[in-house]
Amino acid sequence: MKPSISRRGFLASAAGATAGLTLAGCGDYEPVSARAANAKATLPTYIPYQGVPTSMPATADGVSVGYEHYPADPVEALPDGPPAKGPAIDIMTLIFNPVPPPVGSNVMWQALNKSIGCDLNFEITPVADYPNKFAVTLAGGDLPDAMLMLPPKDNAAATPGMLDALFEDLTPHLSRDNIRDYPYLANIPTASWGPCVLNGGIYGIPMPRPVSGGPIFTRLDLLEKLDVDPNPNSWKEYFQLCKDVTDRKRNQYAMGDPITAFDTTMQMLGGPNKWREEGGKFTFWLETEEAKQAMDAVRQMTKAGVMHPDAYTVTGKVKEWFGTGRVVINPDGAAAWNDYYTTYASAAKGFDLGYLMPPSWDGGKGTYWSGQSYYGVLIIKKAPKARIKQILRAMNALAAPFGTDSYLLRKYGVRGPDHTMKGADPILTPKGTAEVTLPTTFATDAPFTLYYPVKPEIVKTQYAFQKDAVERLVRNPTESLYSPTNAKKSALLQKALDDTRKGIMQGRVPLEEWDGVMRNWRKEAGDQIRAEFEKAWETRY
């Protein structure tokens, strides 16, 4: 995918918009305490799919499976025929890409409906509008059969009370070995199921994402031309690398986003991934000494001129700067690895990506923050048991893994109009590129797979990155926890924190002001959020 705005930027703005949206009916559900909202539920048994052998298997600690080529004879995913025969299923979800052609002129969508056994009616909303759409739909009461629910911190309307009142508790269908009725959902890693648990039940199906997240990408081709070491062993060496790759006359800079520069530095310092949990006590990442040290480090980078001159004033351009060589180092999501090659490699001779693992501040191996293990959760409207099972069978089909004919159809469409073959590998046609943006991945999906048929040799590098990353992962302990105050207030508070943080890193605001900023954050909501997370942790663990 090639999103027009970054996911980070969208979620921050959209959550703020939703938090400020007041709609009749949105607050009419029975309130649920933090303890009740975070009550335990028995998760599904994890049963990894092993139908297509590979030398790069998925691992229990979170490394994604990798393949250099598609099987010449894909496995038949649904040998018993269409699994979800019955009435149409209405699915409300979002899209980052242009909206695909409608089903009447979309052969991929038509073939997908045929394979599943019913019409999947995707109600597709542009990503920036989705949180408001979600809230309006809840208030109106005319619910689709299933709908994407963003994490509560990105969507204040997603409350435990709302779930309990309107949506199905799927625990009887999915907990423990009950998931065996849906073997492709059972292939979704356990970490991705944790955020589906609220009110002591499993209230949705996850959209899994790799726990390793995305790497700190480097333009390896540019680093090799400069003959510099792409693997610094300390903050001092990293800072020197940034200076070495910066060439203002050629409009080339080390980094282009102060926030990701801050995150990179925090990992060198061993800082917490959003929150630190120690003995059930929580510390917010920005109230740590590491945060102040990281801000000062990025201030030094800014003063040294290694940040792109528009880094603090222009948003949504960092991908382009990196792809065109105006920025040499850029942290980004896992899917960006393939996207960069697709978008920029043809225009830059020798285009090559590497990755940089953050070293420890004073030398040696640093930490690496885990990515969010899910994008969102598909929640299902209360319905008779038979209808719930039909929807689950359809979603199970949408989670058919790599190597199957169903995966090939979802990702590459119909052979001929949507893709051609290069050996055993599908290559999208222009028609296919438009049709396969149907947002099945924002309903549910198979676990993330490392695969890029246009340049299969990069898969081994991607797999090596994930193996390295999971060995040093620092998890966010709040990912599966619910705090009502965090859901209501964190987005707006975070914007204020980021404004001051950027001011410090740009050199406009003294670092000494940060202690006062954090005192105000604690007073406004931070201490309440902390207390709710601590109660949630005690309840859940």
Q: Compute the radius of gyration of the chain from its Cα atoms.
A: 23
As given in the structure block, the two tokens for residue 198 are 């609220």
Question: What are the structural domain ranges in the chain?
Answer: 39-211+374-449, 216-369+475-539
| Site of tokens 């201030």 | 299
CA-CA distance, 245 to 254, in Å (whole number)? 6
- Establish how many alpha carbons lie within 13 A of residue 210's alpha carbon, considering only the half-sphere containing its beta carbon: 26
Give the pLDDT of residue 49. Answer: 94
Helices (H) and strands (E) in the chain, counts: 21, 18
Give the pLDDT of residue 23. Answer: 41
Give the pLDDT of residue 28. Answer: 58
CA-CA distance, 47 to 71, in Å (whole number)? 21
Count CB atoms within 10 A of the CB of residue 453: 21
CATH number of 39-211+374-449: 3.40.190.10
- The mean pLDDT values, 10 residues at a time, for the chain of 541 residues are 34 39 49 86 95 92 95 97 98 95 98 98 95 93 96 86 94 98 97 95 97 96 94 97 97 97 98 97 98 98 98 95 98 95 93 97 96 96 98 98 98 97 95 96 97 95 96 96 92 91 97 96 96 95 89
Give the pLDDT of residue 31. Answer: 75
Cα angle for residues 439, 442, 445 (degrees, 5° grid): 100
Q: Which contacts (CB < 8 Å, 24+ apart) does range 106-110 have?
A: 106/435, 106/438, 107/413, 107/414, 107/417, 107/418, 107/435, 108/409, 108/413, 108/414, 108/418, 108/432, 108/435, 108/436, 108/438, 109/435, 109/438
> How far from each other are the two terminal CA atoms of the chain, in whole angstroms?
37
Give the pLDDT of residue 5. Answer: 32
- The structural architecture, per CATH, of the domain 216-369+475-539 is 3-Layer(aba) Sandwich (3.40)
As given in the structure block, the two tokens for residue 380 are 């299902």
CA-CA distance, 67 to 338, in Å (whole number)? 14
Give the pLDDT of residue 1. Answer: 31
What is the separation of C-alpha 352 from the centre of its chain, rounded to a whole number of angstroms? 24
Whole-number Cα distances in Å, 275 to 168, 243, 272, 336, 454: 31, 31, 6, 26, 39
Backbone angles phi, psi at 369, to 5 degrees: -75, 135
Q: How long a stretch of residues is the chain? A: 541
- 324 by DSSP, 3-state: which? coil
Give the pLDDT of residue 35. Answer: 85
As given in the structure block, the two tokens for residue 237 are 């060496």
CA-CA distance, 460 to 450, in Å (whole number)? 9
Contact predicate 54/171, CB 8 Å: no
Give the pLDDT of residue 34. Answer: 79
Domains 39-211+374-449 and 216-369+475-539 equal at CATH topology level? yes
